[in-house]
Amino acid sequence: MTDAKTKTAIVTGAGGGIGRAIARRLAHDGFAVIVADRAQGPADETVALIQAEGRQARAEVLDITDEAATQALIDGADDLRVLVNNAGIFDVKEFDKLTADDFRRMYEVNLVAMATLCQQAARVMPEESRIVNLASRAAFGARNYAHYVASKAGVAGLTKALSLELAPKQITVNAVAPGVIETDMLKARSDSLADMKAQQPTGRLGSPEDIAHAVAFFAHPQASFVTGQVLIVDGGRSVGGTAAF
Ligand SMILES: NC(=O)c1ccc[n+]([C@@H]2O[C@H](COP(=O)([O-])OP(=O)(O)OC[C@H]3O[C@@H](n4cnc5c(N)ncnc54)[C@H](O)[C@@H]3O)[C@@H](O)[C@H]2O)c1
């Protein structure tokens, strides 16, 4: 159970690599965190880690494409102040092989479910609440996953549009666009970790904690004048133009 006096943060996909780091960080920052994921075991593991650190968390198992389930998630959150739309899917397929259903499935999870959650949350959030969306550096272009790239470009656009619509309510809406971060998601790629590291200016890939710090900034009460931004967190790989991609 979460303490009703504590502000609540929902993190979707918080059983996964980046979401877990975000959930732990927001719990550390004083939020009661709802760990929302379609996978029970990983969600429970995240909750156990947070509780072992003496912080508050509980799990909610749902598929974010189920609108009734996301409404129940929002309804069950006491004093909701932060929504982090992190859950996402990824796979690799060259453009010629992609089907319309591949695009629809990617949009349903990465974009439509996010838009629905933003709408449901914004209806109940008080002033000075925060929405943070996970985009991707790939939103600016990448080969062999056009459906994912398009969905994440949609996330960037949605973030900017909502930042204006929710500004009168003093709700900020920002996005973090990670570069290559070491999580299970990378298993869908055929290139090796060594090759990915070799392309990084820093010589290392990002960690989930690198992304959690950026999300925590946008979620902070003092970030109230920062909205509609898409922050690339990629160790500098995108600096210098498309040659770096
Ligand atoms: N890892 C990277 O390099 C990278 C780069 C750029 C952007 N991102 C983005 O960061 C976010 C987190 O990625 P990650 O690397 O931690 O991935 P991950 O695969 O480790 O975790 C994703 C989590 O989302 C959950 N999820 C997926 N679909 C869901 C659904 N329909 N309903 C509920 N939960 C669902 C999964 O169960 C999983 O726990 C994603 O939006 C991803 O697109 C990741």
Report the chain's mean pLDDT, rounded to a whole number: 95
pLDDT of residue 157: 98
Active-site positions read 148
pLDDT of residue 245: 52
Range of the domain at 144: 8-244
pLDDT of residue 190: 86
Query: Which residue's C-alpha comes closest to atom 7 of ligand 1?
Result: 136
Flag whether 3 is in a domain. Answer: no
pLDDT of residue 34: 99
Q: How far apart are CA 36 and CA 26, in angstroms?
A: 14
Residue-wise pLDDT tens digits, 140-168: 999 999 999 999 999 999 999 999 999 99
Structure tokens, 30: 């004083």
Instruction: Ligand 1, residue 20: give the atom nearest the CA.
Output: 16
Flag whether 197 is in a domain. Answer: yes
Mean pLDDT of 25-34: 98
Nearest Cα residue to 55 out of 20, 18, 24, 101 = 24
Mean pLDDT of 84-105: 98
Residue-wise pLDDT tens digits, 160-209: 999 999 999 999 999 999 999 999 999 898 889 999 999 999 999 999 99
Flag whether 211 is in a domain. Answer: yes
Provide the percentage of residues in the chain whose pLDDT is more than 90: 92
Q: How far apart are CA 100 and CA 117, in angstroms?
A: 24
pLDDT of residue 242: 45
Flag whether 183 is in a domain. Answer: yes
Q: How far apart are CA 165 and CA 123, in angstroms?
A: 12
- For residue 148, give the CATH number of its domain: 3.40.50.720
Pocket test for ligand 1, best of 60, 61, 86 (most atoms within 8 A of CB): 86
SS (H, E, C) 32-53: EEEEEECCHHHHHHHHHHHHHC
pLDDT at 26 over 60: yes
Lowest mean pLDDT: which of 76-90, 179-193, 212-226? 179-193
Mean pLDDT of 24-51: 98
Flag whether 41 is in a domain. Answer: yes
Mean pLDDT of 64-80: 98
What is the band of 68 on the pLDDT scale with cuts at 50, 70, 90?
very high
pLDDT of residue 2: 47
How many residues are there in the chain? 245
Flag whether 82 is in a domain. Answer: yes
Mean pLDDT of 55-60: 98
Flag whether 1 is in a domain. Answer: no
What is the band of 241 on the pLDDT scale with cuts at 50, 70, 90?
low
pLDDT of residue 240: 73
Flag whether 201 is in a domain. Answer: yes
- β 8-12/32-37 pair status: parallel
Report CA(231)–ligand 1 centroid distance (Å). 18
pTM of the model: 0.97
Report CA(168)–ligand 1 centroid distance (Å). 31
Is residue 79 a contact partner of residue 4, using CB atoms and an 8 Å limit?
A: yes
Number of domains observed in the structure of the chain: 1
Ligand 1: lining residues by beta carbon, under 6 Å: 12-13, 15-19, 37-39, 42, 63-65, 86-90, 109, 134, 136, 178, 180-181, 183-186
pLDDT of residue 56: 98
Note the helical H segments in the chain. 17-28, 40-52, 67-75, 100-107, 113-124, 146-166, 193-198, 208-219
